[in-house]
């Protein structure tokens, strides 16, 4: 097989890139290691920046998003018995965010690609990328039990944090920067109407909790738990009791409970790989960087990488210029580091320190009170949360 752009990984990054290239008239092939049901049901993100919604619009993949997505004007911060609303439109000159599950974005993009192309192969696992420094890199992959090769002009690794693309970079040019955190998130989906209109980020006595949602009938909630926690350690009643305690504010507010339909534990990590390009191999999304979910940036960063890449390939196709492809890593990393900083700050500000450091705890409250008291501090949070500009 031969193509212009070989894409490894059919998560949001790979699927959106395939769609953008297809609409520009650039041929590509997408290889996804898992089956369709698996990629369409992996529970993950839900909060989309305005720029992510715009990108799905540009790709002609936002029809259901506009019909079913929930537009939110802000978030609530809860701490020390106080609640504080951050109003995005007034603080950012009109920006909002949209709640629409990653599973639904993936379903929409898969359906479009299967109907209109380009080729999308499920259960096609990439084994290796050969000759990334040459003008015709080759992806070796297994499909239907047979080893095959895909010869490309360019290869884009959208294969997530555990993919093979990043490891293809020679050690001499690879630099990674990382941070682990001493806690994880236990996430649940529940068949119950959300207890709030917008997301609540709570710094509770027993630790952090987040109230999010998937629809007017389905709630998505997260709870800070110690590393090493198993989802089975937490029977449903214990989860609801702990969530209620962490969100507790006054007698007027109660957390609605309902049947829990999914439960999983996610560790928290920051990771950035530099650079994001080596020869004709480019990385996009979680393959290059991950952030703790407190800032809701992972999916949005994957989409912004792909938007830059879509423009870079369009420019190459139209004018023959590789200028934007040459600038790809620099442009994306500037934004990635801003999102890494923001996600780190949000995480540090809201999670309980497992060692109970009282000084750190006082600093957290001081940061939160500053945001509550200062329009400038609140505007800084709102600007980062709703998304910084795509290009510097
Ligand atoms: P993905 O989604 O991991 O997709 C990678 C794909 O590559 C495939 N693959 C291979 N295919 C072929 N050959 C190989 N050798 C392969 N190796 C891997 C995999 O099967 C998979 O299909 O990466 P992508 O596209 O970069 O997308 C990134 C996002 O999924 C991720 O950043 C977000 O989910 C992070 N995240 C959130 N981001 C947000 O922007 N807002 C949020 O509200 C938000 N909440 C979250 C989150 C992530 C979470 N978890 C579980 C980590 C909440 C949670 C709990
Ligand atoms: C979600 O809805 O899954 C979600 C929202 C905001 C976050 C993280 C996850 O910060």
Confirm or reject: Cβ of 166 under 6 Å from ligand 2: no
Q: What is the pLDDT of residue 392?
A: 67
Q: How far apart are the first and last CA of the chain?
A: 38
CA of 244 to the centre of ligand 1 (A): 29
Domain coverage including residue 8: 2-72+99-179+269-354
Q: Catalytic annotation on 177?
A: no
Confirm whether 86 is domain-assigned: no
* CA nearest to 150, candidates 8, 322, 317, 10: 8
Most informative mutation of 55, 159, 189, 211 for ligand 1 (most atoms within 8 A of CB): 159
pLDDT of 10-55, one tens digit each?
Answer: 999 999 999 999 999 999 999 999 999 999 999 888 999 999 999 9
Confirm whether 377 is domain-assigned: no
Confirm whether 175 is domain-assigned: yes
**Ligand index nearest the alpha carbon of residue 72:** 2
Confirm whether 330 is domain-assigned: yes
**Ligand index nearest the alpha carbon of residue 11:** 1
CA of 309 to the centre of ligand 1 (A): 18
Cis bond leading into 178, ω under 30°? no
pLDDT of 90-127, one tens digit each?
Answer: 999 999 999 999 999 999 999 999 999 999 999 999 99
SS (H, E, C) 175-192: EEEEEEEEEEEEEEEECC
pTM above 0.85?
A: yes
Confirm whether 171 is domain-assigned: yes
The single residue of 181, 183, 222, 385 carrying the catalytic annotation is 385
The CA-based angle 203-209-212, given to 5 degrees, is 125
Q: Catalytic annotation on 201?
A: yes
Confirm or reject: Cβ of 9 under 6 Å from ligand 1: yes
Encoded tokens for 342: 């923001």
Q: Catalytic annotation on 385?
A: yes
Q: Are 120 and 18 in contact (CB under 8 A)?
A: yes
Confirm whether 28 is domain-assigned: yes
Count of domains forming the chain: 1
Q: Catalytic annotation on 293?
A: yes
pLDDT of 306-348, one tens digit each?
Answer: 999 999 999 999 999 999 999 999 999 999 999 999 999 999 9
Confirm or reject: Cβ of 45 under 6 Å from ligand 2: yes
Confirm whether 87 is domain-assigned: no
Confirm whether 63 is domain-assigned: yes
For ligand 1, what atom is nearest to the CA of residue 285? 26
Q: Are 382 and 98 in contact (CB under 8 A)?
A: no
| Domain CATH for 13 | 3.50.50.60
For ligand 1, what atom is nearest to the CA of residue 286? 26
Concatenated DSSP letters of 341-365: HHHHHHHHHHSPPTT--HHHHHHHH
Q: What rounded mean pLDDT belongs to the chain?
A: 97
For ligand 1, what atom is nearest to the CA of residue 159? 7
């Amino acid at each position: 097989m031969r193509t212009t752009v070989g894409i490894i990984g059919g998560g949001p990054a790979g699927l959106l890139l395939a769609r953008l290239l297809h609409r520009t008239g650039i041929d590509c092939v997408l290889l996804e290691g898992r089956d369709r049901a698996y990629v369409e049901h992996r529970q993950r993100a839900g909060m989309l920046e305005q720029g992510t919604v715009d990108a799905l619009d540009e790709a002609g993949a936002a029809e259901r998003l506009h019909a079913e997505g929930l537009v939110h004007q802000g978030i609530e911060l809860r701490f020390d018995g106080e609640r504080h609303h951050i109003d995005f439109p007034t603080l950012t000159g009109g920006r909002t965010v949209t709640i629409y599950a990653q599973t639904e974005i993936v379903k929409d993009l898969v359906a479009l690609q299967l109907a209109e192309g380009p080729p999308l192969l499920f259960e096609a696992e990439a084994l290796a990328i050969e000759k990334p420094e040459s003008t015709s890199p080759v992806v070796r992959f297994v499909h239907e039990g047979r080893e095959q090769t895909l010869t490309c002009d360019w290869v884009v690794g959208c294969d997530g944090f555990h993919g093979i693309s990043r490891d293809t970079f020679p050690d001499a040019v690879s630099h990674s920067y990382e941070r682990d955190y001493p806690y994880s998130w236990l996430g649940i989906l529940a068949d119950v109407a959300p207890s709030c209109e917008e997301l609540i980020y709570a710094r509770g006595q027993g630790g952090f909790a987040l109230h999010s949602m998937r629809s007017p009938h389905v709630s998505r909630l997260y709870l800070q738990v110690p590393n090493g926690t198993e989802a089975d350690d937490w029977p449903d009643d214990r989860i609801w009791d702990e969530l209620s305690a962490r969100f507790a504010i006054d007698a007027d507010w109660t957390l609605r409970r309902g049947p829990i339909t999914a439960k999983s534990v996610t560790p928290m990590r920051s990771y950035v790989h530099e650079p994001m390009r080596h020869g004709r191999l480019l990385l996009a999304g979680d393959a290059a960087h991950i952030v703790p979910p407190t800032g809701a940036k992972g999916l949005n960063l994957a989409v912004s990488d792909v938007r830059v890449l879509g423009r870079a390939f369009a420019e190459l196709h139209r004018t023959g210029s590789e200028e934007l492809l040459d600038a790809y890593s620099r442009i994306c990393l500037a934004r990635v580091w801003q999102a890494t900083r923001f996600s780190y700050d949000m995480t540090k500000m809201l999670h309980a320190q497992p060692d109970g450091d009282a000084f750190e705890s006082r600093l957290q409250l001081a940061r939160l009170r500053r945001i509550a008291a200062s329009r400038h501090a609140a505007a800084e949070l709102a600007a980062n949360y709703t998304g910084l500009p795509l290009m510097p």
